[in-house]
Amino acid sequence: MIINKIIARKILASMGNETVEVTVNELFTASVPAGISAGKYEIKKVSPDEAISQIGQIERICHGKDWTQETLDAEISSHNFGGNATLAVSAAFFKAHFQFPISNFQFPKLMLLLFEGGEHGNKNITAQEFLVIEDTIDYARKNFKITKEYLVANNIEHTVGAEGGFSPANLDNQGVLDLIKKVLPGGKIGVDMASCFNKSQIPQNVFSVEDPYSDESWSDWTNLTKLNKYLVVGDDLTTTNPDRIKKAMELKCVNGVVIKPDQIGTISQAKKAVQVACSGGLKIIVSHRGEETNDTWIVDFALQVEADFVKFGGMDRGERVAKYNRLMELGMK
């Protein structure tokens, strides 16, 4: 596609901070999120004003030339631009070419956010996320509603956190786990620990464990994965970075990785991270970020890379619901 015009502007993300939205050729518009708890190995971001200035430079570099996703991303990545500037352009270009898979396709499973804490909500809940694994949006919707009805009926605070999950002030990690098991018996539970536990505190009887240790505690990760008890998922450890994913695979640190394109800066680089992870048999979890917009290109990306799971938050914030609605628009029940 020949790029003739790129327009950038500031918009608001879900926490009230500014982010960047880009329109390519007056037709294809994409905005980028920001992470509340960003890993230190993520690509650097710049202020929205600086991103807009850099996108002006990208327009001058790209104007009038015919690009594929790969050649465009390679070019804009070769300069010292912020990841939020490059991804905004890359995602808008991606939107122009997205085609929904039409054969032998299965929708990913949902990692539905039920409760959140840490930097995202109530500090008594030190784990960042408690999720349940759902096969369909209909089941996810019903279970989210059942959980809210239980909280209301039992006079438990049901304030929501940054990503649309419940964050009661009077519950801690164990209280959340007990509640989920009571309300949704038999449900597969996932926990994003955000490096907040030591080994003795890892919850038992959960399906997946994300970021149980710090991003340099490689041996701890390996020892946990060797137990073969959990889907051990890297996020801050791997940061959608092909090199760090390769290292994690070599050390047998994980059997799943979170993919967030804004951690690496372009659609093509995020796809490369997926390819590396798939070559080692890792499960792919495509994820939103803490500060989100109403844009839904992350859903299309997840479908194109055939993600095993997606994390789009709870169902009590509009920017999260937008992602579920996009899945429904594309045929997920």
CA separation for the pair 229, 225 (Å, rounded) = 7
**Most confident segment among 68-77, 154-163, 198-207:** 68-77
Lowest mean pLDDT among 102-106, 134-138, 163-167, 185-189: 102-106
Tell me how far CA of residue 91 lies from CA of 29, 95, 196, 204, in angstroms: 8, 6, 32, 39
Percent of the chain with pLDDT over 70: 96
Would you state the structure tokens that stand for residue 38, as one six-digit string? 């960003």
User: Would the pLDDT of 247 be above 70?
Assistant: yes
CA-atom Rg of the chain in angstroms:
19
Structure confidence at residue 103 (pLDDT): 77
Check residue 201 and give its pLDDT: 67
Residues 129-172 pLDDT 10s: 999 999 999 999 999 999 999 999 999 998 999 999 999 999 99
Q: Does domain 109-329 have CATH number 3.40.50.11810?
A: no
* Residue 260 bears catalytic tag: yes
Q: Which of 163, 210, 292, 319 is catalytic?
A: 163
CA distances from 50 to 96, 299, 321 (A): 25, 27, 30
CA distances from 18 to 12, 14, 52, 69 (A): 5, 9, 12, 26
Domain ranges of the chain: 6-97, 109-329
Q: How confident is the model at residue 195 (pLDDT cuts 50, 70, 90)?
A: low
Please tell me the CATH superfamily of domain 6-97, with its number.
Enolase-like, N-terminal domain (3.30.390.10)
Q: Share the mean pLDDT of the chain.
A: 94
Q: Which of 172, 190, 158 is nearest to 118 (CA)?
A: 172
Is the predicted pLDDT of residue 200 greater than 60, yes or no? Answer: no
Residues 229-243 pLDDT 10s: 999 999 999 999 999
Q: Which of 95, 109, 148, 260 is catalytic?
A: 260
DSSP letter (8 states) at residue 108 = P
